[in-house]
Amino acid sequence: MRNIPVGTWLDCGCCGTWFETWEGYVDQDQDEGYGICRKCQGEIREHDEAEWDKAIATLREGLNDQNRAKFDAMPRIQQKAMVWDALDKGILTYHIVPRV
Ligand SMILES: [Zn+2]
Cβ-contact 95, 58 below 8 angstroms: no
CA of residue 15 to ligand 1 center, whole Å: 4
Which residue range(s) make up the domain with 61? 46-88
CA of residue 35 to ligand 1 center, whole Å: 8
Model pLDDT for residues 69-89, shown as the tens digit of each residue: 999 999 999 999 999 999 999
Q: Which of these, 20, 82, 95, 38, lies nearest to 56 by C-alpha position?
A: 82
Do 59 and 28 fall into the same domain?
no
Sequence-separated contacts (24+) of 41-49 with Cβ below 8 Å? 43/14, 44/14, 47/99
CA of residue 44 to ligand 1 center, whole Å: 10
CA of residue 98 to ligand 1 center, whole Å: 17
Task: Give residue 1's pLDDT band: very low, low, confident or very high (50, 70, 90).
Answer: low
Domain-located, residue 2:
no
CA–CA dist 88, 12 (Å, integer): 34
Domain-located, residue 75:
yes
Q: What is the mean pLDDT of residues 28-35?
A: 89
